Chain A
C-alpha cells in the first residue's frame, strides 16, 4: 500500500455558519494532536533550522536619481493565441463564404493558421477558389465533411500569403518611366503547383461522394421565404 494513496481528509472543524467553526481553539488543539507531537518531541513543537540565506551582494547607491518619479508600465502576461475555432469547423468541413470576392462559394476547410485565419481551398478546378485565408466570422460551417486525409497542408502558413517585398531598382531618369510599366500580375509557378498538389488528393475524395462536386461548384444564395435564423446548415 503506497503511502501516497490516502483518502482526502474530511474537514476537522465544520462550519456552523460561515466564519464560525464548531470547535474552539483549545478543542482543535486537542483534535489535531498537537499535544502528541509535542510529547514525541520532548515538550516543544519540532522546529526546522532556518536556512541561512546568502547575503545579498552589496548594491552601490545609484549616482543619479530622476527628479520626478518614473512610472513603471504594468506587467502584461497575455499571450497571443489564434482565435478559438468553432466546434462546427473541423478539417474537411465545407464552409460557405459570406463576403468578399467569393461570397456564396462553398469551400473546403483545411486548417487554422497561427494568425487565427482559416486556410481554405475551392478546390480551384471546381469553383475557382484558390488556396486562401478567410476569417472565421465571415464563414458559415455546414455539416458536410470531405475526407481530407490525403492532403498535406503543413507547408502553408501566414508568411506564404504575405505580400512579396520588391527590391528597389536604380532610379535613372530614362529607366524610370519604363520600369513602371511592368505589371506583376502573374502568379508564380510554384504557387500554381502547390494548388494542384493540394487539390489532386481532394478532388479524388470529392468525386467519391455522389453530387458533392456539383454541390461545391454551386453557390449559396438566400431565396424568397428563406429565413437565416431558421436554416440548419
Chain B
C-alpha cells in the first residue's frame, strides 16, 4: 500500500476505553460492551455518536493479511446511563482482555 507522507499523524477518531460487558450484579452479557468515550459526559452528548463505527485493535504473533495488527469492528448502539457511557456491539464479542483497553471511535457514518 502506498504510504503518502510518513510522519504526519492524522487522528480522525476519538479515543475510548472498554469498561466491560453489559451486566447486572452477577450476570454479564458479552454480546454488548460498555465503552467510555473521551470527553463525553452526558446522555445528550452521546446522541452525536450513535451509530458511529468503532474498532478494537490488538496485536497478534501470527501475521494475517500481511500485518501483526488485527481489528474487531463494531458500532455505538445507544447511551448507557446518564453520564456519557455508551453501549457498543461488535462483529464478534470483545475478548475479556480488552477490558480497560483502547477503542477507536470513528466519525463515520457521518451526519454533518
**CA A171 – CA B71 in complex, angstroms?**
42
**CA A225 – CA B39 in complex, angstroms?**
8
Q: Are A219 and B8 in contact, CB atoms less than 8 angstroms apart?
A: yes
Q: 8 Å CB contacts to B: which residues of A77-130?
A: 86, 88, 98-99, 101, 103-104, 128
Chain B residue nearest to A103 in the complex (CB): B12
Q: Are A221 and B12 in contact, CB atoms less than 8 angstroms apart?
A: yes
In this complex, how many residues of chain B approach chain A with their Cβ under 8 Å: the count is 22
Given that A98-B110, A138-B110 are known contacts, is A229 also in contact with B12, CB under 8 Å in the complex? Answer: no
Contact check: which of B10, B48, B106, B110 meets A139 at CB < 8 Å? B110
A19: interface (CB < 8 Å): no
B108: interface (CB < 8 Å): yes
Q: Are B106 and A222 in contact, CB atoms less than 8 angstroms apart?
A: no
Chain A residues whose CB sits within 8 angstroms of the CB of B14 once the complex forms: 222, 227-228
In this complex, how many residues of chain A approach chain B with their Cβ under 8 Å: the count is 24
**CA A188 – CA B11 in complex, angstroms?**
34
Q: Are A98 and B11 in contact, CB atoms less than 8 angstroms apart?
A: no
Chain B residues whose CB sits within 8 angstroms of the CB of A227 once the complex forms: 14, 38-40
Contacts from B to A (Cβ < 8 Å): 2, 4, 8-14, 38-40, 45, 48-49, 106-112
Q: List 21 A-B contacts (CB under 8 A).
A: A86-B111, A98-B106, A99-B108, A101-B2, A104-B10, A138-B108, A138-B110, A140-B110, A140-B112, A219-B8, A220-B10, A221-B9, A222-B11, A227-B14, A227-B39, A227-B40, A228-B107, A229-B39, A229-B45, A229-B49, A230-B45
